[in-house]
Structure 1
Amino acid sequence: MKKYFFNEDILLIKWLKYIKKNCKKKYNFSMFNIIKVAKKLNILKLSSFVITVSGTNGKGSTCAILERCFLNSGYTVGLYTSPHLFNYYERIRINGKYIKKSFMHINAFLKVELARKNNQLTYFEFITLSALLLFKERNLNVIILEVGLGGRLDATNIINPNIAIITNIGLDHTSILGNSRDDIGYEKSGIFRKGIKVIIGDDNIPNSIYKMAYIFKVILYRKNYEWNWYELKNYWNFYDQYGILNNIPIPKVSFLSAAIAIAALRVSSFKIDKNVILKSINTVFLMGRFQIIYKKPIIIVDVAHNSDATFYLSQRLKKLLYIKGNIKLYALIGMLSKKDIKGTISSLINIIDYWYYTILNTHQTATINDLKKHLPKNAIYCISVKKALYQLIQKVQKNDIILIFGSFFTVSEAITAMRTLNL
């Protein structure tokens, strides 16, 4: 008699392929369908305290610090982020752990599929509903939702937050969100709800956000006004209406992300001891954010894919170059076609000694010509991230630096390639 084995992991992969194939491909400019399905699933009203995090950069880092501080304070926490680097599991964490039991995801997918019937959803809307189902089943103290794109029409915005965060406003996804910071600010402030507390980390807040704040009568907590921080040699201090938080360890993520998270924690209704913040802040690390994956030569991978992100990246590189002294800096870039390539490389163009570029293993990749026209004439094309990485390692000196950046795809391919090069 034949024995048949049920492989949940394979079934999960098939489900994800099914969702991608059968869901709407383009951005949804209406929330009608997702709200309709969410009502059927009874997930629009959650008993958990919800923090929704929007912004152009630093969302993932801010979410991760919030999660760690809540967990270290004894609260139960659900975290939903995007995109993932390697595996779908990375998008959803409950109490600091990925849900690696495939049947739990499959069960949630099945519930969404049965509820949606003929209602068209995007891939992101479908998996967001799935994540919310998993969170609701656990009856968590806190749910942290990272906005996928914009805010106003994002799938996460079907849930009313208790605190909203806008990390910053930069020019990205302009074909969908608008061509100005004012337009993008309007879209991101779509996560506001009446009377809630809103943390904003931008130095130059667009008028559109102030208009939305007035309409929703939110309580603003703005960098430079209601809170701020300053750096010292080996630590930093944060201050707000509650006083000064001294001697904070240097974070492994950006100071801005750490400060935004602290600002949100201190205005929340939760009891978060200052010692928990001090002990938690430098324990948070995110893959693909100025991550050193090899030391001789130094190989840095970073998912930076817009001008604000690469400006911050350039500042960190300058500090490293100052410390290291007389060395060469090589860059390998791979980007998606809809990104602002010229703006993304503008902060780096004068500090990179040698440029390499490649196409990515996705239909969304920027073409050879897309990249070539914005790079120096002596930039070198390589057929893949793996080939480029191999070529670079053969060429550089052990004290040199290789930077690989431009997309989550670029970083994912680079880390995967490093595992096969057997250095």
Structure 2
Amino acid sequence: MIDFLFKSSSSLLALLIFYHLVLEKEKMNQFNRFYLLFSLVFSFVIPFITIEIATEIIKAAKNPTSILFSQGNSQIIKETNYTTYWLWIIYGIITLFLCIRFIRNILKITSKIKTNTTLDYHNAKLVLIPEKTLPHTFLNYIFINETDYKNRNIEAELYTHELTHVRQFHTLDILLIEFLKTLFWFNPIFIFYKKAIQLNHEFLADEFVIRSYENIPFYQSLLVSKANASQPLYLVSNLNYLVTKKRLLMMTKNTTQTKAILKQIALIPIFVAIFYCISIKTVARENPSIHLVQTNNSFSKNEILHEKLSIKKESLQETNTLNPTIIENNIATKNQIVDSINTEANPITEITQPEFPGGVLEFYKFIGTNFKVPAELKGSGKVVLTFMVEKDGSLSEFEILKDLGFGTADEFIRVLKLSPKWVPGKENNEAVRVKYSLPIQIEPSK
């Protein structure tokens, strides 16, 4: 969740900054509306996209070493994170309050529609209300003061302005951003997106009015005269805007088609950069074929597999096929763990142990391929270390219980930190943290 919020917020912020610096001041209002809405969708989708790019690392193996993996064990770590519970409770309470407020405002608007006179007006409906207010729009309803309507005190430009909000469905944009503000109330960036979207709506409506009446000075003076009127409900499109100055300036601007196209093209590297930073993951992989050729180019199929696994043959059963001892030991280990947990004090639960991607043999191959034997190490011995397999499959909390010296255990930790994420352990289909113990016997070649 934290990762999603960080990535989506970073994308939203970058795109909003670009909008204010490059796009907002240009008269390409339809494109800007699409850009703002697309920025919201893009920023919510991009955290779920991950593309891995493999970078091949060629290494030559020196002093091949036999490594025997002894039977390990794991332990599910029971933990109660009360801080997380309280944060979710606080989030739920505040979100519930804001949802109620959101629904209450919609009901307040619909109540006005039901309790007041409505009149058909082009493809919209006029709602005559007793309150003294400027015309404002919600969906296809235009709210106007009943007295002003009857006395014909509402200028034609204002009707045209509100009709533009109706025809272009601006209320839907406002409802979307308000819904996101309700869910992500702790993220102030949505406040700025709402302001940008509302201002863009006013630019669009102003543009249509000017194109229809071709009298910019009169329309500007009309807006200035209405600027001090009371602000209506926050879910509606309206004329009373604190940024009236920006609207007046936009009316006199003229953006050439060439300039607009260049600024739109400039978006391509912005979106590519965001996609690369958030979704592209570079994974380093060693070339195993080069490793084998330089250690021994005359291995049989089984010998190559054993060399890549770095498993000492003499310590295992003699066989010409894959040695089942490793797999049987691990299966036995899992059964022992399950038996030890499912006691009378602990009711039987469905437990799945964490696993390296591809299984235990792939894990041994991974260790054997990446482990470098310290040059100073001459003798043999056992290294024992533990690590935590987190709920997301990442490895952490490495601890050395027994070391041979010369940085041997540190080298194993280095290799484990290169590991891809494991399939996490589960208890009753819910991911849990598991502490994993790994004994390793090392036999350097002579």
- TM category, shorter: under 0.3
- TM-score, normalization: structure 1? 0.18
Q: Which of the pair is proportionally richer in helix?
A: 2
- Mark the structure with the bigger radius of gyration: 2
Q: Which has the higher contact order (CA 8 A, sep 6+)?
A: 2
